Amino acid sequence: MAENGNRCAYEPKVPPNGASPGRNAQRIAKLVGVCAAGFWLPQLAATVSADENGSLDEIVVTAEKFISTVQSTPISVSAISGDQLAESGITSVEGLAHEVPGLSMRTAGPGQTEYEARGLASNGGASPTVGFYLDEIPLSSPAASQTGKVVMDPNLYDTARIEVLRGPQGTLYGSGSMGGTVRVITNQPVLHEFQGSVQGTLSDTQGGSGNGGGNFMLNIPLGEVLALRVVGSDSYRSGWIDQIVLNDYPTHTAPGTFGSVLNAPVQSVKTDANTEYLYGARASLLFQPSDDFSMTASALWQHLAMGAYDEFDSPPGPNYLARYEAFPVNEPTADVIHIYGLTVKGDLGFADLTSATSYWKRYSTQTQDASGSLYYTSYQEYINQPAPAPPLPPLLRVPYSEIDPSRQFSQEIRLGSRGDDRVHWVTGAFYSDLRSTWIENDSSPNNTVSYQGTYFEANNPYHVEQLAFFADGSYKLTDTLKLSAGLRWYRYQSSQDEQEWGLVPYIAPNAAPGPPINTRAADRGFNPRVDLSYSPTKDFTGYISASKGFRPGGANEQLPQPACPAAPLNFSSDSVWDYELGEKARMYDGWLSINSDVYYIKWYGVQQSVTLPCGYQYQANAGNARSFGPELEIRAKLTTEWTLSASGAYTDVKLTDPSPAYTEYLMTGAIRPSGNTWCASADGCTGPILNVPKATGSLALDYATTLATNYRLTARIADSWVGPTMDEAYYFGIRLPPYSLSDARVGLSRDRWSVSLFVDNLTNKVALLTSNNTSFQFNVPWQIRYATNQPRTFGTQVDYRF
């Protein structure tokens, strides 16, 4: 901070791109990375260790509700074991997303990530396009949160594996899985054996400060038939984005003009505002009186708290890594979740019976400074007033808070075949009841003209009830040819009770809360799938498949009138048909594996968010779309010590047949600045599918060897690349540039302990991940708020098992 009279010029935290200091720093970092590659040669997240013959191990999965391996499962699935997560330094599902082909994400930081696959973006609707499971528990996102379809970010310590299933999983996993499913499988209690482990991590973030965390696990046998497994975690991550409060916040007097925040007097600076605290515990109790029966009760509690989102303002841009505010309004977020599950398994002789019961509740909150957006709304009303115009509206301090409590009960019961390798089948029923409330409060003592000083307040309970019956199975027609098929019948009902009031609601301004308005949506149907696979040897599987998936429709909120145009009260479900051709091959005695597929998806009734000039959104069925592309994963043992891993995907997704209403929205020049329309004519108005990179790829090398006296040396260097994407800020399109992120890690272990040194974001890349991802009260035309990644971080990690 440099003072100049009564004004302050805020110094950038990162040298501008292209400036001499930044260029030299990048050259040095790249040189270090190239040199490190010559010595380390590490592993990608999907890399597997060698077995006794030096070949690549196969990972056991339960993607089809029975035990198989990745290579023998005739669907597009990626898996990574818990040991590989630890060796790769991956501590969150978000960290894994870049290394799984076809999987993309939209994020504003930890706990604020929604996952997408094969171009099926989830920025619209009330349900995600990628399902998320913790063991047998389906975790749904809030139905109406303005942060999107975000799921919890579970701590991955003591995780058995993560499975990522691509393509519609509507037969076995139901709604919200039409693009794929992510399954986090935790380690279960073990009878008759005491186990334990501890882990400590210390690191430092460039432009921030120190980070630290610890984890532990205890597996305690309780007699002959009981075992308890307990996991605890506590971590802190420093921030690196500053919150700067200006004495004279620049306002504009005409659309499109905005003063420079760099020239305004600085009142205060809150450095490194986006801190993160994550702590929680997980416990599982196993009761297994015989080999034919087991019951596992589980509970998880996790608390995530952030000082602010991982976002910065542009202008001035990424070289300053700061947010500029008119008032000192803290912008924290918090996410507290409690999860309870009971899984009962029994051997009935002819089949295995599984009952999975779960209940979870989640409480998410966020606060943002609404002074700028409310000023802009008031200014728009001011300039539209007939002469003589009233006085120019003042800039007022207005914190805007959102609360998203949600809870869900779910029950699945299924029967699965056993003992016959030629025939596999599973059948069952599923029920879920999700209740999610969207609550917003925007009030200020400065507001003396509306009810209790409220600018806008909402209390909108959302209820989704689902019921499904399913059957899925496979039959070996010959020793090499297998036919698989499945069918799921579903029914859902959703409703929203909407109650809003304040200065600009749909009811009369200044009025007290009125009676709620109820909107409903419902549908039923079938999700089929069919698959034909060919396996002439245990090392090759080829398959062709067709499968359907769907996502429930829902209710729209009432928009403030007359500030916003009228919107439909509900939107319909959307669905996809996925046609896929794939292969999985192991060669050279298991030293090389190549898994690849190509798919074509037809997407009907695309659910898309429509952002309006009044700052509000509604959900619409935008028309029909298509998506296609190849996906590739390669793993190769170059020698007994060196392993190469690579993955990539190309996704071509387009809205091919927009609905008339959506075409009008895309074409309307009145709501889009010149040059920022999605299309030039109605005939060519195909429109974008937001937040989907056309191309992604990752590459890594791994080195592992045994030194004298039984020391094991491992090392890893990896890079992931994400191509350009289209996003939206205010109500115009934004092109996010491509970015590449690199990590390096080296470790030494012996017997029960290991020590690792790591560098995350080796080249200190500032990536633009999304734009205005959390714009529920930051939706103004003069500034864009970008979510970004953590700067270069050096650290060490120590593990001990006992």
Q: What is the CATH number of the domain that holds 723?
A: 2.40.170.20
Q: Give the range among 68-77, 456-465, 615-624, 746-755 with minimum mean pLDDT.
A: 615-624
- Residue 634 CA neighbour count, 13 Å, CB half: 13
Q: Compute the C-alpha angle 230/235/237, nearest 5°.
A: 160
More confident residue, 37 or 228: 228
In angstroms, the CA 473 to CA 64 distance is: 9
Q: Give the range among 269-283, 431-445, 758-772 with minimum mean pLDDT.
A: 431-445
User: How confident is the model at residue 498, as a pLDDT?
Assistant: 81
Nearest to 798 by CA among 316, 202, 265: 202
In angstroms, the CA 458 to CA 439 distance is: 5
* 249 falls within a domain: yes
Q: Indicate the pTM of the whole model.
A: 0.87
pLDDT above 80 (res 4): no
Query: How many angstroms from the chain centroid is the CA of residue 215?
Result: 23
pLDDT above 70 (res 507): no
Give the pLDDT confidence of 584-605 residue by residue, as tens digits: 999 999 999 999 999 999 999 9
User: How confident is the model at residue 288, as a pLDDT?
Assistant: 97
Q: Which of 121-125, 400-404, 657-661 has the highest mean pLDDT?
A: 400-404
Give the pLDDT confidence of 361-396 residue by residue, as tens digits: 999 998 988 887 777 766 666 666 666 666 666 788
Strand-pair partners of 84: none
Pairing, β 753-760 against β 695-706: unpaired
Nearest to 607 by CA among 73, 48, 127: 127
Query: How many angstroms from the chain centroid is the CA of residue 467?
Result: 26
The 3-state secondary structure of 185-227 reads EECCCCCCCCEEEEEEEEEEECCCCEEEEEEEEEEEEECCCEE
Nearest to 245 by CA among 209, 269, 263: 269
* 771 falls within a domain: no
Pairing, β 180-186 against β 130-134: parallel
Nearest to 732 by CA among 375, 255, 400: 255
In angstroms, the CA 459 to CA 92 distance is: 32
* 768 falls within a domain: no
Instruction: Give the range of the structural domain holding residue 234, as residue numbers without chain letter.
Output: 2-763+776-801
* 191 falls within a domain: yes
Nearest to 336 by CA among 403, 249, 423, 399: 403
Residue pair 302/361 in contact (Cβ under 8 Å)? The answer is: no
Nearest to 45 by CA among 620, 698, 747: 698
More confident residue, 5 or 754: 754
* 770 falls within a domain: no
Nearest to 525 by CA among 544, 497, 499, 552: 552
How many domains, in total, are found in the chain? 1
pLDDT above 60 (res 769): yes
H-helix or E-strand spanning residue 577: strand 574-587
312 Cβ contact list (under 8 Å, min separation 6): 241, 318, 320, 321, 322, 323, 785, 786, 788
Residue pair 689/663 in contact (Cβ under 8 Å)? The answer is: no
Secondary structure of residue 83 in the 3-state scheme: helix
* 664 falls within a domain: yes
User: How confident is the model at residue 484, as a pLDDT?
Assistant: 94
User: How confident is the model at residue 797, as a pLDDT?
Assistant: 97
Residue pair 768/317 in contact (Cβ under 8 Å)? The answer is: no
Nearest to 178 by CA among 481, 467, 607: 607
User: How confident is the model at residue 3, as a pLDDT?
Assistant: 37
Give the pLDDT confidence of 254-301 residue by residue, as tens digits: 444 556 788 889 999 999 999 999 999 999 999 999 999 999 999 999
- Residue 179 CA neighbour count, 13 Å, CB half: 31
Residue pair 160/82 in contact (Cβ under 8 Å)? The answer is: yes
Q: What is the DSSP string of 308-358?
A: S-SEEEETT-TTT-EEEESS-----EEEEEEEEEEEEEEE-SSEEEEEEEE
Secondary structure of residue 376 in the 3-state scheme: helix
More confident residue, 541 or 617: 541
* 97 falls within a domain: yes
Residue pair 75/167 in contact (Cβ under 8 Å)? The answer is: yes
* 700 falls within a domain: yes
Give the pLDDT confidence of 143-177 residue by residue, as tens digits: 777 666 788 888 899 999 999 999 998 888 987 88
